[in-house]
Amino acid sequence: MKKRKTSSPSFEELVPEEELRERMKAHLKSRAPLFGEGSVFSELLQSAVNGMLNGEMGDFLAEERAKEKANKRNGYTSKAVRSVAGVLQIQTPRDRQGDFEPEVLAKRERELTSGMDEQILALYAQGNSVEDVRRLVSKIYGISLSAGKISAITDGCCRRLSSGAADCCTAFIR
């Protein structure tokens, strides 16, 4: 059986919004730091974290339904989180019963300084599999997540990032 050669997506496919593509190009050409206040890449990280939290909530609610518990989404809690990429505006999803405990960014946690923010972008830029992500998260953060939960988190993130816009870094390199 012959392996099909998969081509890398173009920058336009990764970042469908022209305005965002132009801002990213301008930021890279300016030789300013990739992360920090007002950086396009900080915006991508913020979207990735928010997407992961939404994916985690979706997985949590699916588990609740499987246990025949009546629980639903109940809006979001906003918070500013400090990271090496600057201050991120994070929207943590809430559930009606208050049982959801996010693992990506815990309740009342105000700093994303464990290196996890850089790892999130690196994982997407490298195209790691769900199993690779699970092992890395377990090794670095000591959090044991199921492959299903990782899939739910990455699916939520990918939807928020226009099907992998965080891969823009690799698109620039090619």
pLDDT per position as a tens digit, 10-64:
777 777 778 878 888 888 888 777 777 677 778 878 888 888 899 999 999 999 9
How confident is the model over 82-99, as pLDDT tens digits?
876 778 899 999 999 999
User: Biggest alpha carbon distance in the chain?
Assistant: 54
When the pLDDT of each residue in the chain is averaged and rounded to a whole number, the result is: 75
> What is the reported pTM?
0.58
Question: Buried b vs exposed e over 17-43: b needs ≥16 C-beta within 10 Å?
Answer: eeebbebbeebeeeeeeebeeebbbbb
Bridge partners of residue 88, in order along the sequence:
81
- Phi, psi at residue 69, to the nearest 5°? -100, 140
Under the banding of pLDDT at 50, 70 and 90, the label for residue 146 is: confident
- Phi, psi at residue 68, to the nearest 5°? 60, 40
